[in-house]
Structure 1
Amino acid sequence: MKEAENIIVGISIGDLNGIGGEIILKTFEDSRMMEFCTPVVFASAKTITFLKKQFNSEIKFHAVNNIEQIALGKFNVFNCWNENVKIEFGKENPKIGEYAIKSLQKATHALKSNQIDVLVTAPINKHNIQSKDFNFPGHTDYLAKELGGKSLMFMITNSLRVGLFTDHVPVKDVANHITPKLIEDKINTLYTSLKQDFRIQKPKIAVLGINPHTGDNGVIGSEDDEVLRPTLKAIQEKGKLVYGPYAADSFFGSNTYQSFDAVIASYHDQGLVPFKTLSFGQGVNFTAGLNKVRTSPDHGTAYEIAGKGLANENSFKEAVFSAINIYKNRSDYEYLTANPLKKASKK
């Protein structure tokens, strides 16, 4: 198994006009972070030098042109470009979006090639990254295509985990997207992730309804009764501890979520509004189900405070720690699964 500081954390720089650069620098200004991992930021030495001056950062970095040159236990910067970039904090700029994608693509290639162990992505602007060569709603969809597996948007903290049946889907289309196959695929992905990534042997999962009050016996929609309930029953009959559907309006306020290892919501805001209300600044966005580990903070580019030195790095720092912990858990799980006698000897 790898020593902690030998776990290589690749970091995509995100939108340079947002707070990504600031929270990355603030996270790794604490030299103790190097005891947990070796960070590699995919950007450029010139860009990081500019950001250091902007935020009066004393961090020392090691610039490299290929991954083989990285220094373990140091703050590394992988040069993805050589030119100076005009950074205008707080402004949306398609050119800046191009640099965000260049960083993401280089980091993803390194992840696929096993040159880095995990990927942590700083926030992007979903609008300014769009082009004829990059047409994805965001990180999750792009990484699902590149890395393989069945992805699940999974928001996590120590006390709350929320997955989604549908993520970046317009509300008017949600019900049509939630099919028996999608329900089963997402629950299976969540169940596997809880076992291999979080060391939960027999996960207990709650499912939130599609309609208000789970349809009130068909008065407010039939999808919960005709699609969700029978699919959940079939999954339960296969031995999984999956319960619901629960009415979403009272589920979190009543603390019912505390009785489960994870919750899966039907659509984006149904799950993320309570999640961010309960854990904002400490939450992590984890893309479960992929062949590699990717996390990100639970917030966006925050243009309104970008460049002012006001950004809070806690969520990004938690994303780094979560990526490391999930990587370790998954490595242990794969090792013990491949060596059942070792697993038996630990009992």
Structure 2
Amino acid sequence: MQSKKIKDKLILKSDREPVRVGISIGDINGIGPEVIIKALRNNEMLMECTPIIYGSTKTMAFHKKAINDDLFNYQRVTDASDAKNKKINIIPCWNEVVNIQLGKAKEEGGKYAFLSLERATQDLAAGKIDVLVTAPISKETIHQAGFKFPGHTEYLADLSGAEDALMMMVSGELRVALVTSHIPLKQVIEDVTEQKVLDKIRELNKSLKKDFGIVKPRIAVLGLNPHAGEKGEMGSEESEKITPAIQKAMEEGIITFGPYPADGFFGSRQYSNFDGVLAMYHDQGLTGFKSLAFDDGVNFTAGLPIVRTSPDHGTAFDIAGKDEANEQSMRSAIYLAMDIFRKRKFIKEINENPLPKRKVREEKKSKYQ
């Protein structure tokens, strides 16, 4: 009986149109290709999506051999429009022989990560793929290769012309967004303004509705200073910037609470009472998040017209090629990208075709007057 239920569930899934998932390869000397291979070799994944990897067949073959994999099979296509459903497709972004040095932070690794990302974003803009999942890059090596942005979030925001891109970490019902992301800690105090906090609250609220289907999101905002300023004893940013932003958000109808001290908030599991959490800076939000959800966490860039996700870990050069990388975060990133794409599509469709209002007959209406 149980096997029949599983079979029926798979049939229902397979009836849905597969999402065309573009995957940038990341740093070729890190674990990006390995977690891609491991995440996609499950046949059930291919019933849900059509994966299109941007890189090269030789690079993927090298990593496949390094971990002694015999389950990952793929085909080479020259254009995303030629990608076949229920197959793993690879688009060559370079033809030269590449000197792969597993575990080494080299400029070449950044160069090919950049080439992969460029080609994938071009196809995303052209509508050839539905969503983008990015494997980890090394900030050091990709900057050496001419990448001018702090990270994927800022790069995609610039390409999309979006001023309010929001870095959000997601694991199940836990969603942690950031006011500031890839900047030095000494710049955080200057960057955290009342207007910016308010803008990020608005963007988080919008994303929780549009991307996750939450009708009335409850948002928690963290403080900047220890103990959320301790009523001014440990800093005034809470009273001068954060609390006024929360109050204005509440006046706009956004259900917002805080500011909360970050350590106690995560330690006491207060986050479970909210749909989204807004942290002030990178390590404040990500330390709590990764302590709770390192293996399956996903980095999602909210506030963009496109859908982009990524695993929440880095290149992990120290274990590259050793068959030790856990692919769950990459798998979760692919599934979350598909879920958000479908959620956006559904919400757009119901808003374009709302149910018509029924007219009440005058004689029937009069009975209730």
TM-score, normalised by the number of residues in structure 1: 0.96
List per-residue Cα deviations over 1:287-327 (Å, max 9, x = no partner). Answer: 01111000000100001100111111000000000000011
Give the letter for the 1:29 counterpart.
R
Identity of aligned residues (%): 48
CA drift at 1:238: 1.2
CA drift at 1:5: 5.1
SS state of the match for residue 189, structure 2?
helix
Q: Is the contact made by 2:110 and 2:145 (CA closer than 8 Å) also made in structure 1?
A: no
CA drift at 1:335: 1.3
Q: Is the contact made by 1:5 and 1:72 (CA closer than 8 Å) also made in structure 2?
A: no
1:11 aligns with 2:23: yes
* Structure 1 moving runs of 4+ over 3 Å: 2-5
**Alignment match, 1:128:** 141
SS state of the match for residue 90, structure 1?
coil
Distance 1:240 1:139, change over 3 A: same
Distance 1:125 1:133, change over 3 A: closer
Structure-2 separation of matches of 1:227 and 1:84: 54
In structure 1, stretches of 5+ residues that fail to align are none
SS state of the match for residue 308, structure 2?
strand
1:102 aligns with 2:148: no
Segment drifting more, 219-228 vs 203-212: 219-228
Distance 1:57 1:278, change over 3 A: same
Structure-2 separation of matches of 1:37 and 1:299: 23
Structure-1 separation of matches of 2:201 and 2:245: 11
SS state of the match for residue 129, structure 1?
helix
**Alignment match, 1:62:** 75
SS state of the match for residue 315, structure 1?
helix
Q: Is the contact made by 2:108 and 2:145 (CA closer than 8 Å) also made in structure 1?
A: no
1:26 aligns with 2:64: no
1:252 aligns with 2:266: yes
SS state of the match for residue 133, structure 2?
strand
Q: Is the contact made by 1:208 and 1:246 (CA closer than 8 Å) also made in structure 2?
A: yes
1:207 aligns with 2:221: yes
Structure-2 separation of matches of 1:254 and 1:53: 45
List per-residue Cα deviations over 1:59-98 (Å, max 9, x = no partner). Answer: 2211011122211121000010111111111100011100
Structure-2 separation of matches of 1:27 and 1:108: 21
SS state of the match for residue 188, structure 1?
helix
Structure-2 separation of matches of 1:234 and 1:159: 26
TM-score, normalised by the number of residues in structure 2: 0.90
CA drift at 1:158: 0.8
Q: Is the contact made by 2:132 and 2:307 (CA closer than 8 Å) also made in structure 1?
A: yes
Q: How many residues align?
A: 343
Structure-2 separation of matches of 1:311 and 1:97: 20
SS state of the match for residue 341, structure 1?
coil
Structure-2 separation of matches of 1:200 and 1:250: 26
| Max Rg structure | 2
Q: Is the contact made by 1:4 and 1:37 (CA closer than 8 Å) also made in structure 2?
A: no
